[in-house]
Structure 1
């Protein structure tokens, strides 16, 4: 994956900087582990930098994300690549190959990306099969950025993904790359529509349920959000919520 990201960043006028290594601890490991960090510095924008790290899913789930980010920031400031202007213009990309704990990885991904401190953080989750599909699509000597843009702009590819999302791993990893590498330029001004996966599922809900049903679901969500945290664990409450949701989806009214 680092080879793909490296080529992409170079195509977008970023040059490799001096790499560095960060040590971190895992409770399950007797010895400290290390993470190689690859900096890329913008040729056109002074002080703009992207740090890229590859990490296994197991280590990703186990490490203390706040401590690791602090360690990366501290080590970064000591390397020759760093300039003070980069403090506010550096993004960190953690590339994580998924294995068996995808749902846990997604939960941690959100927590890391929502953390406002140190860097703008992006977690690129991908599977071994997705990476294999991407490598098969990207040939040596081809411009990866143009291939990605061409693939995403092609409405036929999106339609195939809509029909069989679980069987279209190439679309999944390409759209993931386009959102997790923050500098990839995507211009949909010449397209008839923006092929947004979230929008697609929203439209499916709109088509399937009436306005009355949607309003009922929204009201239920508001009610549940008002439950005290400990009360939400109540079996009675959860059963009542489940029953009400079923009623809303069938009739549009709250019990």
Structure 2
């Protein structure tokens, strides 16, 4: 997995340096802001939050970069099996506010093997072509809960937000939203959905946690029911 990700980083114009068990990637954006990634593979997620201080200090001292503190993300690779406990560990790590912005990328050998079989050997550009392939995207939608190579592909695109994709993926996502709206219309919930969407447009981000969505939905449905009676 690390070699596949390394190819992607290099394709996206990062420079790499090995620092102990960590791989350090550096990139200068068009705005001249330099930002960094650390990539590490671990056998277990259990001690990641304990180890991050050591990783942070090691790389900061080794690389001697003034803006390291605020411009560095950490990608943790972990071979694992799908279960609820693992998901809780991932959430705990990714929501931790200290040291790095953290991303956890899980995979299994079967999904990795199949993904590599669908890629052109040594050509990370083929990963981007797969991500934006409509058929691949539709196959993923059909089996999004299964840990297939499709899911691994889109997990990579999610965990590496710097990957430069073309517009085709947006068309695919638009198609997904269109299908969702059509399903809502079929069960007579589309108008209610629009009402909720309009209500939330007027809510500040800081107020979202105070909203009881079930109560909001119930009140809107009740208003529509009373309106229909009139």
TM-score normalised by the chain length of structure 2? 0.72
From 222, 232, 237, the counterpart of 2:212 = 222
How many Å separate the matches in 1 of 2:142 and 2:169? 21
From 111, 115, 118, the counterpart of 1:134 = 115
* 2:131/2:157 contact within 8 Å kept: no
* 2:72/2:100 contact within 8 Å kept: yes
From 142, 164, 169, the counterpart of 1:163 = 142
Distance 1:191 1:224, change over 3 A: closer
* 2:60/2:68 contact within 8 Å kept: no
Aligned to 2:13: 13
Q: Which has the larger displacement, 163-172 or 110-119?
A: 163-172
* 1:49/1:91 contact within 8 Å kept: yes
* 2:7/2:122 contact within 8 Å kept: no
Question: By how many angstroms is 1:191 displaced?
Answer: 5.9
SS for the counterpart of 2:102 is strand
Distance 1:114 1:156, change over 3 A: same
How many Å separate the matches in 1 of 2:86 and 2:183? 27
Aligned to 2:78: 96
1:229-248 equivalence runs, <5 A: none
Deviations 1:88-129 (Å, cap 9, x if unpaired)?
111100011122x53222222122212222111111111221
From 162, 166, 169, the counterpart of 1:187 = 166
Aligned to 1:52: 39
Aligned to 1:234: none
1:65-84 equivalence runs, <5 A: 65-79=48-62, 81-84=63-66
CA RMSD across the alignment: 3.3
TM-score normalised by the chain length of structure 1? 0.65
Deviations 1:122-176 (Å, cap 9, x if unpaired)?
111112211111221223342x1x2122112221222222233456722211111
Question: By how many angstroms is 1:208 displaced?
Answer: 5.9
Aligned to 2:90: 109
Q: Which has the larger displacement, 125-134 or 168-177?
A: 168-177
How many Å separate the matches in 2 of 1:75 and 1:48? 17
Aligned to 1:29: none
Deviations 1:18-77 (Å, cap 9, x if unpaired)?
322xxxxxxxxxxxxxxx211112255564211001112xx21x22x4322222112222
Unaligned runs of 5+ in 2: 197-210, 216-220, 226-230
Aligned to 1:211: 189
Question: By how many angstroms is 1:187 displaced?
Answer: 3.2
Number of aligned residue pairs: give it: 200
